Amino acid sequence: CMPMQEPFEFNIQLDLQWELQREDITLVERLDEGFFGQVFKADLVTCNNTRKEKMVCAVKMLKGNRNEKDVLDLLTEMDQMKRVGKHKNIINLLGVCTQNGPLWLVIEYAAQGNLRDYLRRNRPQNTLCNLVLPSEGRNPDDELPVPHGDTLTQKDIVSFAFQVARGLEFLAQKKCIHRDLAARNVLVTEELVMKIADFGLARDIRSCDYYRKHTRGHLPYKWMALEAMSDNIFTHATDVWSFGVLLWEIFSLAGSPYPGIKTHELVKFLRSGERLDKPQYASQEMYRLMRDCWEEDPSKRPNFRTLVEDLDRMLAESS
C-alpha cells in the first residue's frame, strides 16, 4: 500500500536526537487520508536497555501526488513539533525518518480516533437520555450508556473540555496558534486522554487548496472567529473562539453547529449578536464560558489560562 515516490532533491539535515531506523517501523493500516497526506497505524520497535519493546504508533507521510511545497510543509510541521516539546494533551512526536526514503513523522497513536466521531459513537442509543445535569436534579446513578459497557458521565465530558483546554494552554505558552481547532482535530486515546492534533500544520486557511486538502466537506468557517473570517486575522484569541465552538460540540455530543446557515449568512448572523444556543448537556455556567469565548471584541475573550482554571473548578464541582 506504500505509493512509490520519486524523491525531490531535499537534503534533510540528520538530527540524531530524533532519527529512527525505518527497519524498526512496520506500517499496519491506513488510519486517515487527506488530499496530500496520510496517516498509518504502525508498530515501532524500541530498545529499552537490552530489551526490545514493541509499541503502537502512527506515521504521518505524504502521498504520491505531493508537490515540493507539500514536502516543505511537512518539514515545517516536523520542526514545529520538535520546537513545541511534549505535553500529555497534544499528539507528541516520537521520532522521524528523514534519510533514504520518504519523510515520515512518527507520532503518538490515539486508539479512539477523533473526538467528534468518538462522541457520536457514544451518544445514547435511545431518546430516553438519562444524562441529566446537576442543576436539573441529577441523580448520581443517571448516566449515559455507551457501547462496550462503559458509561459516559457528565464529569467525563467536563474532563474532556478541561483536557483540551490544558493542551491549548500549553500550545499558547509555546506561541503556537492552531487555526483549525475543532473536535475533528482532537484525538482520543484508549484511556480517554484528549490530544490536540495537527498543531504544527502549515496552514493557509484562505487558500482554496487548503479547503480541498483538509476539510472533507466540513465548513471550517463555523469554527472561525469573526475577525478571522472577515479579515484573515489569526491570534490566540481566534483560537479561543474556536475552542468555544469545540466546547459546544462536546456538550452537544458532536452536534453540527449552525445547521442550515450558509457561509455568507454566518458573518451577518454573528455581527447581529446571535450565537449558538446552549447545547443539551451544558450547564448554564458552561454555556456562559462558551459565550465569553464568542465575544466580538477579541480582547474581551478569556485566555486559555483562565479557561483551564474555570474548567478545573467546574470539574471538581461535577459529580
Cβ(112)–Cβ(190) below 8 Å: yes
Least Cβ distance, residue 248 to ligand ADE (angstroms): 23
Least Cβ distance, residue 110 to ligand ADE (angstroms): 4
Contact flag: residue 84 with ligand ADE (CB under 6 A): no
> Binding ligand ADE by CB under 6 A: which of 19, 24, 32, 227?
32
- Among the listed ranges 109-117, 151-159, 261-269, 284-292, the one in contact with ligand ADE (CB under 6 A) is 109-117
> Binding ligand ADE by CB under 6 A: which of 20, 39, 201, 293?
39
Give one DSSP letter per residue of 165-223, joined into a string.
HHHHHHHHHTT---S--SGGGEEE-TT--EEE--TT----TTSHHHHHHH-TT--GGGG
Reading the block at residue 86, the C-alpha cell is 511534549
Nearer to ligand ADE, 75 or 91 (CB): 91
Look at residues 273, 93, 305, 94 and name the one whose alpha carbon lies nearest to residue 199: 93
Q: Rounded to whole angstroms, how far apart are CA atoms 317 and 315?
A: 5
Nearer to ligand ADE, 109 or 304 (CB): 109
Indicate the SS3 state at residue 156.
helix
Nearer to ligand ADE, 90 or 245 (CB): 90
Look at residues 65, 66, 56, 63 and name the one whose alpha carbon lies nearest to residue 27: 56
> Binding ligand ADE by CB under 6 A: which of 12, 27, 28, 31?
31
Cβ(145)–Cβ(272) below 8 Å: no
Contact flag: residue 192 with ligand ADE (CB under 6 A): no
Look at residues 283, 175, 194, 310 and name the one whose alpha carbon lies nearest to residue 239: 175
Contact flag: residue 182 with ligand ADE (CB under 6 A): no
> Binding ligand ADE by CB under 6 A: which of 20, 42, 58, 196?
58
Look at residues 243, 283, 91, 263 and name the one whose alpha carbon lies nearest to residue 161: 243
Least Cβ distance, residue 194 to ligand ADE (angstroms): 13
Contact flag: residue 91 with ligand ADE (CB under 6 A): yes
Residues that contact ligand ADE, how many (by CB under 6 A): 12
